[in-house]
Chain A
């Protein structure tokens, strides 16, 4: 399991080539995970940009799904999980969308309907035993239509010294994800925080209320369509716009 490291420049050919991927080939076509498109380099609009970089178009490609063998303990864990899911009446293919192994970390992309049973299986089975949940993190990909809001769970097995990530996606139109508080009570405040900042509604949470922002705050601040909210700063002789309105490198 190796990753051919792309040079960190971020400027790729403008044509979307299906062979561009950071994972091993699957058959003769590699699926790529495009979460957005980057256009231009400086975010300049309106004013003249003579650098020529304004017409740059590059896709933002996340590491694609990995193929078996995943490496180290990942395969055994996947097998055990598949077995436990079968016993519980579900199945690996129904619950898990894809498996990504990147930089030595295992990520399971889980379908949101099956999240709680996957968590239960991971916590209770003796070969998996992921007792410690390190909370929920939200990510907003406005470019990934139909799957904009992601809730990312990091699980640690203290017994086996293993680490794992679960990634659940929900569309903006229906931002509901089942709550895992029944399996990991520690996710209580983390889910509240994710609701507060992203608007992901965790169904079944005992008290989903705002935790960081004031209770009557409108909007969900850490979404990408929420402005940073800064004010222009006056210096002697000049005014500097807030960080999200400046011309920055993309």
Chain B
């Protein structure tokens, strides 16, 4: 249809967004942020049976400066919250956050004074993974979903437009407590 029809064989064509997404998703390094029980399931995912190494992610960097993904695995207490934020701030762009388990996603079963009700109060979260604790396969599913998201994420002007569109949609949306009539 265009240039790609006329080019001789031996050329591979893609978009910059596609290429950047492909490269970024294949080289995600998580930062060690295991807090509680979910950390043990995260470590089990790094073990040989559930092998996170097939995605190149078995290298859990201790230093946030060298990491891309913060898997908040476990309950975030009030005392730990500033530490979460500090580690997040120390990570260089591009960075993603996966809140693993119900405690990180929403406070979980601990609806009380001591636990932050969802780590999205502190850092922006890209993927929420429920479970108490989620099985290693569930964590891998969430990581694959994150990889999809990274692959498809727009860059530059497209990104700004996508953010504006998301904000407009969120402002129009019905609040959760008003979404009635779903149990038909």
Contact = CB atoms under 8 A, between A and B. Distances in A.
Report A-B touching, CB under 8 Å: yes
B181 interface: yes
Interface string A227-244: 111110111111100110
B177 interface: yes
Contacts of A24: none
Contacts of B8: none
Main secondary structure of the interface of B (DSSP, over half): loop
A15 to B, nearest CB: 38
A60 to B, nearest CB: 24
A117 B112 CA distance: 39
B177 A239 contact: yes
Contacts of A234: 175-177
Contacts of B113: 221, 226-230
Contacts of B178: 237
Interface residues of A, number: 20
A229 B112 contact: yes
A214 interface: yes
Contact of A236 (B78, B106, B107, B182): B182
Interface string A185-225: 00000000000000000000000000011100100010000
Nearest to A241: B111
A231 B181 contact: no
Interface residues of B, number: 18
Interface in A117-171: none
Interface string B171-184: 00001111111110
Contacts of A243: 111-112
Interface string B88-112: 0000000000000000001100011
A181 to B, nearest CB: 24
A236 B112 contact: no
Interface in B135-184: 175-183
B6 interface: no
A123 to B, nearest CB: 34
B117 interface: yes
Contacts of B114: 213, 221, 229
17 contacts: A212-B79, A213-B78, A214-B78, A214-B79, A217-B78, A221-B113, A227-B113, A228-B112, A229-B113, A229-B114, A230-B111, A234-B175, A236-B176, A236-B177, A237-B177, A237-B182, A242-B112
